[in-house]
């Protein structure tokens, strides 16, 4: 039960915030605050009960960020817990740290400290900066040292690097990429960073001034940490408490929480390429020869690891032959991500593949252990520092050894997945091959991924945290939280609340479904109907967003448009997202017409308020790509459980995505406009009606207009 003093702090802070900003209380916002605070009140300081989890779907306009801040921070301070806010996008992260938290601190008597947590890759490495500025010889040495290809390293902008050094020395910059005065191109930033395997930590000569560790140390001193999903998952995968505070003493808030299961799957997936790994093994052999030459390893260590490399080559050749046989035996291949692929049914690989994978897994485990032993010896040499020459050599070789150890471990994880049989009690892993042709010839990549994040999140998060809050504008599908519960493995005691948006949908927006007499599966006719209708549909709208489910159709529609109309289109393939939105707003401000053509990434996280978007057009009900190997495997497993995969997975996911896509229209209470859906299935299919009923209560115009191939509307 929520302590009276905590309840009073929350209520008082809310009143103060409303008064300071001259706001009217929102019923949904008060609901959200109460639900979260009451759920987290069950946190047991003695850790004798299950961590509470609260899921709140809060429609656009609820004011969810301030709601969860007001609800969680007083509870966390009372319990002595840290608050870790994780967003899925940089835009929301910046909004929380730069706008919402300052407003709360300024407008109420709540007193808490806050810091922004980022991954190592967002911070400059001082040692690498030194090497880059040392000249061409140092540049080449760094390529050799860090195992980077010249193309990956880039030529770099020495004037930029000198400016960075100057700003660091003056104390005007702390090495944070996002805090630099202008955007930094990837080609210029990549040479400045290291990963955790390359970093020598306290043994680095620049450790005391290290940009990353200085930022990391500040996290232990603050009440609230603003991070992102990826960094939280990275920390949990490492055991928790490595980068961020201990999970048992942390209350996590996952904003944009619908991304969490998919990001979790990515973090616990594995991947390798056979030919590329063989090339890497040659480099690894050269590394061992150099380490032996420098007397950093014993000859016996070198010989042992060389034998393992020979075994790995032999087993890799065997695997290559097996997969080439698979390729030759197939009548056709699926295509996913512009690559031919073959997904194993239910992730079950043939026994011959499993046998060679067992051998490869064992040998990669041996070489990983061997490289880790060498790394430990080098670290001991650096710690002792008795022989200055040998210490410097250890400092030079440690980073590249770490990179090779990481690659060996990644291969071990992949081959271990192919070697094992999934337990019958749970969902399988998806396993698939992709066939890659480039200038170097054919390569075969192997991938493995969980199909559900449930097991990993249960083991590493829901059972280990002090408490958790998941929120987003859209979390349910078809009015239920079943999809989120399935994919994220949420515990049975989870509290769920859905708060509708305060917007007057029936007055502000019209959902139009024109009569097309055409199934979207008839790609040619469906595309021509869209092309014919757009000039008429958009004749009175200066700002529109057209969303497609496939890049092919988006490009076909562009090709079919009259030239004068094509000039009004901004296509996502032609610009970076932020740049495209900037151009779009500029056109509207100049009184010109502007239409954005975008794919799934434009169906969420795009805020075009007021005049910047008055019409959202959606080509099709956004069903998932049918040949995604992860979704294919999950669907097959769902069918095996006696359920209909289409109704259990595809329809709820499509409903969820359609709500998100249509939600691009109304971003504030004063917005208004139209939504046009070029898909009759939402009316004439049973599942379509279920999808339609799950959408906000827009005013509807169904089949009031008819599209033809001969003329416009």
Binding-site positions for [4Fe-4S] cluster read 125, 199, 204, 210
Asked whether 205 and 126 are in contact (CB, 8 A), the reply is: no
Q: Measured on CA atoms in the order 200, 201, 205, 207, is the torsion positive or negative? A: positive
* 3-state SS, residue 694: helix
Helix axes 551-560, 523-537, angle to 10 degrees: 60
Contact between 490 and 484 under an 8 Å Cβ cutoff? The reply is: yes
CA distance 547 to 678: 11
Residue showing tokens 């929480």: 257
Buried b (16+ CB within 10 A) or exposed e, 643-674: eebeebbbbbbbbbbbbbbbbbbbbeeebebb
- Reduced to 3 states (helix: H, G, I; strand: E, B; else coil), residue 607 is coil
Q: Are 418 and 448 in contact (CB under 8 A)?
A: yes
Sheet holding 334-336, edge to edge: 270-273, 441-450, 429-438, 339-343, 334-336
Q: How many CA within 13 A on the CB side of residue 533?
A: 25
Q: Which contacts qualify for 709-713: CB closer than 8 Å, 24 or more apart?
A: 709/525, 709/528, 709/529, 709/532, 711/532, 712/532, 712/533, 712/535, 712/536, 713/514, 713/533, 713/536, 713/537
DSSP assignment string, 130-165 = HHHTT-HHHHHHHHHHHT--HHHH----HHHHHHHH
CA distance 73 to 114: 11
Integer distance in angstroms from the first to the last C-alpha of the chain? 60
How do beta strands 114-116 and 270-273 pair? unpaired
Nearest to 650 by CA among 430, 513, 483: 483
The neighbour count for residue 638, using CB atoms within 10 Å, is: 20
Backbone angles phi, psi at 500, to 5 degrees: -70, 155
Which DSSP category does 344 fall into? P
Q: Which of 304, 311, 272 is nearest to 288 (CA)?
A: 304
Annotated binding site: 125, 199, 204, 210
Contacts of 698 (CB under 8 A, 6+ apart): 505, 506, 509, 510, 511, 662, 675
Concatenate the DSSP letters of all residues of 201-256 into one string: GGGSTTGGG-HHHHHHHHGGG-SEEEEEHHHHHHHHHTTSSSSS--GGGEEEEEET
Measuring CA to CA, which residue among 675, 674, 683 is closest to residue 702?
683
| The two structure tokens encoding residue 272 | 């390798």
Residue 483 neighbours by CB under 8 Å, 6+ apart: 476, 477, 649, 652, 653, 656
**What is the signed CA dihedral for 673, 677, 683, 685, rounded to 10 degrees?**
-150
Pairing relation of β-strands 339-343 and 334-336? antiparallel
Neighbours of 639 (CB within 10 A): 15
**What gap in Å lies between CA 587 and CA 575, rounded to an integer?**
15
Output the DSSP codes for 61-101: TS-HHHHHHHHHHHHHHHHT-EEEEEESSHHHHHHIIIIIH
């Amino acid at each position: 039960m929520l302590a009276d003093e905590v309840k009073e702090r929350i209520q008082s802070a809310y009143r103060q915030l409303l008064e300071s900003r001259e706001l009217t209380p929102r019923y949904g916002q008060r609901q959200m605050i109460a639900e979260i605070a009451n759920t987290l009140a069950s946190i047991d300081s003695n850790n004798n009960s299950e961590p509470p989890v609260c899921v709140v779907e809060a429609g656009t306009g609820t004011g969810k960020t301030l709601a969860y801040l007001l609800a969680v921070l007083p509870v966390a301070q009372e319990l002595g817990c840290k608050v870790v806010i994780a967003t899925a996008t940089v835009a929301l992260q910046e909004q929380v740290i730069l706008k919402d938290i300052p407003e709360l601190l300024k407008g109420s008597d709540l007193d808490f400290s806050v810091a922004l947590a980022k991954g190592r890759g967002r911070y400059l490495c001082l040692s690498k900066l030194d090497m880059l500025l040392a000249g061409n010889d140092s540049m080449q040495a760094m390529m050799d040292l860090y195992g980077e290809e010249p193309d990956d390293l880039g030529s770099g902008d020495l004037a930029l690097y000198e400016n960075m050094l100057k700003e660091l020395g003056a104390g005007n910059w702390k090495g944070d990429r996002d805090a630099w005065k202008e955007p930094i191109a990837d080609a210029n930033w990549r040479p400045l960073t290291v990963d955790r395997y390359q970093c020598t930590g306290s043994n680095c000569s620049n450790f005391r001034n290290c940009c990353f560790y200085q930022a990391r140390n500040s996290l232990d001193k603050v009440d609230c940490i603003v991070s992102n999903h990826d960094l939280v998952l990275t920390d949990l995968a490492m055991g928790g408490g490595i980068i961020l505070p201990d999970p048992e003493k942390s209350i996590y808030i996952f904003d944009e929480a619908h991304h969490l299961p998919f990001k979790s799957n990515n973090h616990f997936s594995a991947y390798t390429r056979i030919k590329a790994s063989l090339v890497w093994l040659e480099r690894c052999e050269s590394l061992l020869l150099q380490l032996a030459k420098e007397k950093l390893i014993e000859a016996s260590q070198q010989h042992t690891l060389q034998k393992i490399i020979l075994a790995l080559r032999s087993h890799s050749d065997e695997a290559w032959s097996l997969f080439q046989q698979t390729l030759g035996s197939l009548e056709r291949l699926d295509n996913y991500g512009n690559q031919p692929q073959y997904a194993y049914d239910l992730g079950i690989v043939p026994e011959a593949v499993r046998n060679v994978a067992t051998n490869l897994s064992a040998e990669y485990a041996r070489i990983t252990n061997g490289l880790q032993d060498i790394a430990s010896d080098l670290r001991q040499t650096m710690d002792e520092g008795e022989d200055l020459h040998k210490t410097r050599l250890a400092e030079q070789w440690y980073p590249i050894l770490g990179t090779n150890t990481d690659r060996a471990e990644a291969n071990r994880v992949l081959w271990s997945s192919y070697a094992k049989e999934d337990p019958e009690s749970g969902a399988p892993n998806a396993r698939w091959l992709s066939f890659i042709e480039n200038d170097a010839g054919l390569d075969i990549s192997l991938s493995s991924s969980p199909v559900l994040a449930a097991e990993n999140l249960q083991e590493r998060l829901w059972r280990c945290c002090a408490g958790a809050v998941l929120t987003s504008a859209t979390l349910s599908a078809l009015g239920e939280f079943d999809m989120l519960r399935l994919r994220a493995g949420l515990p049975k005691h989870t509290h769920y609340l859905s708060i509708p948006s305060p917007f007057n949908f029936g007055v502000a927006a019209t959902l139009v479904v024109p009569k097309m007499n055409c199934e979207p599966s008839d790609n040619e006719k469906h595309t021509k109907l869209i092309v014919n209708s757009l000039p008429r549909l958009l004749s009175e709208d200066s700002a529109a967003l057209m969303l497609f489910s496939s890049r092919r159709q988006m490009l076909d529609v562009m090709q079919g448009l009259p030239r004068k109309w094509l000039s009004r289109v901004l296509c996502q393939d032609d610009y970076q997202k932020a740049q495209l939105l900037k151009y779009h707003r500029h056109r509207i401000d100049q009184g010109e017409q502007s239409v954005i053509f975008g794919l799934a990434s434009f169906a969420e996280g795009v805020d075009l308020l007021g005049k910047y978007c008055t019409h959202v057009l959606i080509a099709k009900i956004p069903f998932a790509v049918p040949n995604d190997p992860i979704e294919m495997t999950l669907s097959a497993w769902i069918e095996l459980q006696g359920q209909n995969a289409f109704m259990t997975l595809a329809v709820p996911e499509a409903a969820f995505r359609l709500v998100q896509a249509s939600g691009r229209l109304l971003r504030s209470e004063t917005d208004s406009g139209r939504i046009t859906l070029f898909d009759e299935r939402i009316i004439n299919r049973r599942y379509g009606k279920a999808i339609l009923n799950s959408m906000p209560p827009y005013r509807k115009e169904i089949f009031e207009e008819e599209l033809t191939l001969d003329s416009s509307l």
